[in-house]
Structure 1
Amino acid sequence: MTYQAVLGRIREETQRKVMAAWSLYGKGYIDRAQFLQLAEGILGLGGESAARAADLAVSLELSRLNGRLEATTGVNAERKRANYLDSLRTVLNGDGDVVMKLERLSLNAPLEAAQAAYSDAVAMSDATGWVRQMDADPCQLCRWWWREGQVWRIDHSMPTHSGCECVARLVKKEKRK
């Protein structure tokens, strides 16, 4: 199973759990504060799982690149987790379709945590660059960012957008003889 497929499963499971919590709130089994606490925890677990998957994916990429087993770097999702409660409050206090917004938030929170962790792990790696590996159905923006497989320097952050499942495929420049 690919990293992107694992990430897709984490996202779907996070969304399913947040929406189950929303259903409990809607039926009156839990109050608003309990929903917020439960949903924040679910998003946190989804983000942490996604960050661990990203860390492992970078480790595997480096192992492929270097021809030897590489350890994970231990990056986590803490810098994203701090925003979950605020995001949930914004959704509940805002106008519009709360269900659609909760679904989108619960899909994107793990994805953004994974992107941050992947980026952090790549920055700590010994790779010299990366190419954009697009998801199965890349949007027009991602195809433009791909630039026909251009190799980017390792210190150049890969641009992403909300819902983007593209990843950086690490490369190393060949030594000239």
Structure 2
Amino acid sequence: MTYLDELHTLADETEAKVWTVVEHLDAGQITRDEAIALIAAIVAVANRRATSLASLGIAADLTLATRTPVPVPAVSAPDDVRRLNAAAATLLDRLEDTPDPQGRTRRLARAEPLKRASEARGQALAASELVEGWTRSLNGDTCQLCTWWHRGGR
């Protein structure tokens, strides 16, 4: 499995777990406060896993590129439980008026670890003395901004 495969699996798992919490809230099996705490905890753990995955991925990439073992860079995930609690509360407040509550819930849950992995990867690259720069490569699921940056050579 590749780094991206693992990262997308993490995002998929996070989506499913957070949506399950919302389903339990809707069924009256948990309270709103419990749902907020669970969503924040699930996403915080996913963000930490994404940070570790990104660090391991950079070490593997640099090991392959240099043909020399490279230690895993020390990149830590921020302690952002307060922000995640606020995001979960906002999500739950808005779900009733949202045309696609499942889609909105899944977007939040998916975006968090993907964003954190990207940030951690950037931090690891910036901290490495082996990296002088990098070239953006595109895959089949490239966003518009990455496509624009790639065209400009960034």
- Provide the TM-score with structure 2 as the length reference: 0.88
| SS of residue paired to 2:76 | coil
Q: For residues 77 and 52 of structure 1, what CA distance do their matches in structure 2 show?
A: 8
Deviation digits for residues 88-143 of structure 1 (CA, Å, limit 9, x no counterpart): 12212234243322110001011011111111111101200101122322234322
- Structure 1 residues 82 and 4, CA gap change in structure 2 (3 angstroms): farther
Higher helix share: 2
1:145 is aligned to 2:125:
no
Mapped contact 1:77–1:116 kept (Cα < 8 A): no
Q: CA deviation at 1:27?
A: 0.7
C-alpha distance in 2, partners of 1:68/1:82? Answer: 40
2:123 to 120, 124, 134: 120
Alignment coverage as a number of residue pairs: 150
| Structure 2 unaligned spans of 5+ | none
1:110 equivalent to 2:104? Answer: no
- TM-score normalised to structure 1 length: 0.77
RMSD: 1.8
Greater relative contact order, per chain length (Cα 8 Å cut-off, separation 6+): 2
Whole-angstrom CA distance in 2 between matches of 1:32 and 1:84: 15
Moved segments of 4+, more than 3 Å: 79-82
Q: CA deviation at 1:87?
A: 1.3
